[in-house]
């Protein structure tokens, strides 16, 4: 375990607040910074966390900084922008990006930090806000092996499954493929449900078959919880974020020279909902959008 590690956390959204809380209650000295949710910082401070006003100040005070923000533009601004991490950084600082980001940006940032004697780790997440609060997320980690061993105990504060998938950038590459699969399921479920209802098969009938068969999975369960009970908090991942991740996937596929025909189709489903002004809704609500456009 890292001795006397001072941990910073930026990005206290649906996932980040639970992760930061686990780091704090499991014995780490935590410093937080308000990004969008002032109330989340207040709750952490009430539990004993410190607060800073800028990423530069956090970099001066911390040994490890976790980032859990929307994507690469936000990560780049926090590291390279005015008042950013690089402005206050010191040799040995480790920055761990748990966002779903663009791998080319990740590799570039890693090289810049390494040149200044620091380390960059990509550790994107798998799971839900409930898993973040429970400390049972999955982490897909891209890092130098020695750095991975150094930060693994900290990641274990919020992740029950930790997979070292390769060097820096590999975590974000694997996360994009993972999200392609999960969001592909969302598009497939949505179209299948709409088709079923169009031909006289209710969502309940659909679930009575699929929910007892080999195609059931954790993603299916949270998706169908919304479909069947209308619980809007069953799967709190926005259409905007899904569309962003699928755009990153398309860029990765283009750079690799791979035909990503299914990825393009899935992306277009989410982008269509986003373009209709519904980007703030959550992924299972794609089922409503697909039904509506099909007159169901």
Domain boundaries, the chain: 6-167, 173-293
Residues 6+ apart with CB under 8 A from 200: none
From CA 22, how far away is CA 50, in angstroms rounded? 15
Q: In whole angstroms, how far apart are CA 236 and each of 150, 169, 279?
A: 31, 26, 12
Instruction: Bin 277: left if φ > 0, else alpha if -120 < ψ < 50, else beta.
Output: left
Residue 3's pLDDT is what? 47
From CA 4, how far away is CA 265, in angstroms rounded? 49
- Domain spanning 173-293, CATH architecture: Orthogonal Bundle (1.10)
From CA 280, how far away is CA 294, in angstroms rounded? 21
Q: 16 burial class (0-12, 13-18, 19+ CB within 10 angstroms)?
A: buried
Any catalytic annotation for residue 175? Answer: yes
Tell me how many degrees the CA angle 221-224-228 measures, rounded to the nearest 5.
135
| Residue with token string 């092996």 | 145
User: How many Cα neighbours within 13 Å face the side chain of 151?
Assistant: 34
- Which of the residues in the chain have pLDDT under 70? 1-4
CATH of 6-167, one of 3.40.50.300, 3.40.50.11610, 3.40.50.1100, 3.40.50.720: 3.40.50.720
Closest by Cα among 122, 260, 285, 96 to 181: 260
143 in Cβ contact with 122 (< 8 Å): yes
Residue 38's pLDDT is what? 85
From CA 58, how far away is CA 133, in angstroms rounded? 23
Q: What six digits make up the tokens of 278?
A: 């519904």
Tell me which of 26, 152, 173, 175 is the catalytic residue. Answer: 175
Residue 2's pLDDT is what? 42
Please check whether the two domains, 6-167 and 173-293, share a CATH topology.
no
What does pTM read for this prediction? 0.93
From CA 286, how far away is CA 295, in angstroms rounded? 14
Residue 4's pLDDT is what? 55
């Amino acid at each position: 375990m890292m001795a006397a590690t001072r941990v910073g956390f930026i990005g206290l959204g649906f996932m980040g607040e639970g992760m930061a809380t686990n780091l704090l209650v499991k014995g780490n000295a935590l410093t937080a910074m308000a990004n969008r949710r002032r109330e989340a910082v207040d709750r952490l401070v009430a539990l004993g966390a410190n607060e800073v006003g800028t990423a530069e100040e956090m970099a001066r005070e911390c040994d490890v900084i976790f980032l859990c923000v929307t994507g690469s533009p936000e990560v780049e601004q926090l590291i390279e922008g005015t008042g950013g991490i690089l402005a206050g950084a010191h040799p040995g600082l480790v920055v761990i990006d748990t966002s779903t980001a663009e791998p080319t940006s990740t590799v570039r940032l890693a090289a810049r930090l390494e040149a200044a004697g620091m380390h960059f780790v990509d550790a994107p997440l798998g799971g839900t806000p409930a898993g973040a609060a429970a400390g049972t997320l999955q982490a897909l980690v891209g890092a130098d092996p020695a750095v991975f061993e150094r930060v693994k105990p900290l990641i274990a504060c919020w992740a029950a499954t930790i997979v070292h998938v390769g060097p820096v950038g590999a975590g974000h590459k694997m996360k994009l493929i993972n999200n392609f699969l999960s969001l592909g399921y969302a598009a497939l479920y949505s179209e299948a449900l709409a088709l079923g209802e169009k031909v006289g098969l209710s969502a309940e009938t659909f679930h009575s078959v699929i929910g007892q068969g080999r195609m059931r999975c954790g993603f299916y369960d949270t998706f169908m919880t919304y479909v069947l009970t209308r619980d809007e908090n069953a799967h709190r991942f926005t259409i905007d974020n899904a569309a962003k991740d699928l755009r990153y996937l398309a860029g990765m596929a283009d750079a690799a020279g791979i035909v990503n025909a299914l990825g393009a189709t899935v992306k277009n489903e989410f982008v269509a909902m986003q373009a209709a002004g519904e980007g703030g809704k959550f992924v299972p609500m794609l089922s409503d959008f697909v039904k509506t456009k099909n007159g169901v």
